[in-house]
């Protein structure tokens, strides 16, 4: 091979790499300076932020808002620690966010929402954008102002075109998926009556389920979260007035029936986060009997698989009691061991994406939003789901 050919090959390889790099859609962060006027601060007192990529063409007046996820903090120590990370402060966040999956601007990768105005709301309050309290002991200060952050971002987006939206979709993943449940009705009230408003939760259907030692690990966690961050006043009023324990209205299964805005639930029946933290938290498995099962489903014994199947069945029963089975509701409940499927391209819409009845998640959500077809898809129980992208083997 002569020198000229060698140089040409090197240049072609570089060009190919640059094309791949340039194909990523990196969207700049926008801080919300006016948030300080209504007390909308991150845990550490920094300003909240979002990333906006403008729509175009037929989608120029349509809006998709995506809540970022990332767990919660339900005591002072964990919140102080969180305040020093990207989960509690915009100071530590990446200033560029990679938009793919449901946020992609590529029609071949996101056929129904690629040309919409797409917004990612950064998560820095640790309470699913729902708290309204403050901790100050004279030494440390923590702002539990998730509700104010939500309000500040909406106020910032309205004059940028959101107030004229023709179609709108509020979405989110994990703790952000819970935010979508919690704020769906409020989002619909904010926008004009002639706007087609719908909501979607990805991996946000957190269950009030006993763990394997019959303790209410997740319930106790959420109760402490609601108390610490002053969330109870912001929960669904129909739910809180009905239940003896209003803090339980943090769980979607108790208030979903009161959501009148069309809603789509995207969830795995064996959600890995709930499997590892709610059903079999470390406190319930101190001797590590579940360690191998958590790492590799094929290593689960018969009893462990039965417990996982019972969890799936409890989820389906909880969904059955909600409005999600109504004509306007939609769902995609697959039998994967995963968590969050809308923000990653490989699970949202790709050749090997998870499917139910030959339909991908993107197709199911699009069919539901645009009323093209009924989208209530539930996969058969594990070991169904041959198209899964499992987090565990």
Residue 374: the pLDDT is 79
Q: Is residue 386 part of a domain?
A: no
3-state secondary structure of 266: strand
Burial class (CB in 10 A: 0-12, 13-18, 19+), 378: middle
User: Largest Cα–Cα distance of the chain, in whole Å?
Assistant: 82
Helix axes 175-190, 146-157, angle to 10 degrees: 50
Q: What is the pLDDT of residue 93?
A: 98
Q: Which phi and psi (to 5°) does residue 49 adopt?
A: -155, 165
DSSP conformation letters of 331-346: EEEE--S-S--SSSHH
In the sheet that holds 62-67, the strands lie side by side as: 96-98, 26-31, 49-53, 117-121, 62-67, 167-172, 196-202, 263-268, 330-334, 376-378
63 occurs within a structural domain = yes
Kindly list the averaged pLDDT for each block of 10 residues, start to end, along the chain of length 393. Answer: 36 32 85 97 98 98 98 98 98 98 98 98 98 97 98 98 98 98 98 97 98 98 98 97 98 95 97 97 97 94 98 94 75 96 96 95 98 92 89 67
Q: What range defines the domain where residue 189 resides?
A: 22-378
Residue 138 counted as domain residue: yes
Within a domain: 3: no
- In the prediction, which pLDDT does 320 show? 84
pLDDT of residue 170: 98
**Residue appearing with tokens 């910032």:** 156
For 95, the token pair is 């200033």
Q: How many whole angstroms from its chain centre is CA 18?
A: 31
Does a structural domain hold residue 8? no
Tally of domains in the chain: 1
Inter-residue contact 337 to 268 (CB < 8 Å)? yes
Catalytic residues: 174, 271, 339
User: Looking at residue 13, what is its pLDDT?
Assistant: 32
CATH number assigned to the domain comprising residue 187: 3.40.50
Burial of residue 11 (CB within 10 Å: 0-12, 13-18, 19+) is exposed
For residue 228, tell me if it sits in a domain: yes
Are 51 and 68 spatial neighbours (Cβ–Cβ below 8 Å)? no
Per the domain annotation, does 227 fall within a domain? yes
Q: Is the dihedral of CA 142, 144, 148, 150 positive or negative?
A: positive
Q: Which two tokens stand for residue 133?
A: 């309290």
* Residue 385 forms part of a structural domain: no
Contacts of 177 by beta carbon, 8 Å cutoff, 6+ apart: 67, 69, 171, 201, 202, 203, 204, 205, 266, 340
Chain centroid to CA 24:
21
| Rounded-to-integer distance, Cα 288 and Cα 392, Å | 17
Of 74, 200, 61, 206, nearest to 146 (Cα)? Answer: 74
Dig out the tokens for 390 from the structure. 């499992």
């Amino acid at each position: 091979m002569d020198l000229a050919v060698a140089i040409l090959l090197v240049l072609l390889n570089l060009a190919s790499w640059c094309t791949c790099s340039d194909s990523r859609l990196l969207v700049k962060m926008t801080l919300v300076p006016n948030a300080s006027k209504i007390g909308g601060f991150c845990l550490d007192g920094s300003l909240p932020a979002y990333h906006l990529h403008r729509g175009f063409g037929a989608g120029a007046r349509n809006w998709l808002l995506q809540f970022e996820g990332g767990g919660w903090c339900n005591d002072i120590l964990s919140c102080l620690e969180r305040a020093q990370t990207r989960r509690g402060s915009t100071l530590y966040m990446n200033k560029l966010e990679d938009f793919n999956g449901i946020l992609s601007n590529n029609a071949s990768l996101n056929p129904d929402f690629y040309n919409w105005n797409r917004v990612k709301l950064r998560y820095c309050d640790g309470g699913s954008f729902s708290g309204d309290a403050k901790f100050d002991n004279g030494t440390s200060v923590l702002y539990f102002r998730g509700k104010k952050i939500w309000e500040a971002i909406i106020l910032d987006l309205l004059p940028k075109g959101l107030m004229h939206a023709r179609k709108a979709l509020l979405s989110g993943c994990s703790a952000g998926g819970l935010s979508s449940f919690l704020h769906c009705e409020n989002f619909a009230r904010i926008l004009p009556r002639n706007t087609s408003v719908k909501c979607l939760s990805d991996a946000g259907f957190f269950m009030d389920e006993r763990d394997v030692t019959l303790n209410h690990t997740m319930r106790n966690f959420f109760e402490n979260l609601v108390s610490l961050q002053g969330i109870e006043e912001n929960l669904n009023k129909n739910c809180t007035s009905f239940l003896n324990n209003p803090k339980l209205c943090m769980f979607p299964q108790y208030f979903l029936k009161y959501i009148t805005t069309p809603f789509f639930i995207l969830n795995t029946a064996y959600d890995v986060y709930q499997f590892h933290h709610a059903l079999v938290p470390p406190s319930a498995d101190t001797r590590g009997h579940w360690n191998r099962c958590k790492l590799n489903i094929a290593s689960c014994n018969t009893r462990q698989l039965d417990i996982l199947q019972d969890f799936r069945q409890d989820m389906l029963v909880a969904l059955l009691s909600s409005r999600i089975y109504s004509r306007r509701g939609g769902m995609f409940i697959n039998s994967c061991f995963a968590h969050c499927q809308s923000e990653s391209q490989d699970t949202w819409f790709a050749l090997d994406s998870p499917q139910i009845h030959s339909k991908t998640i993107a197709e199911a959500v699009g069919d539901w939003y645009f009323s093209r077809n009924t989208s209530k898809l539930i996969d058969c129980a594990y070991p169904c789901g041959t198209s899964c992208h499992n987090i565990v083997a």
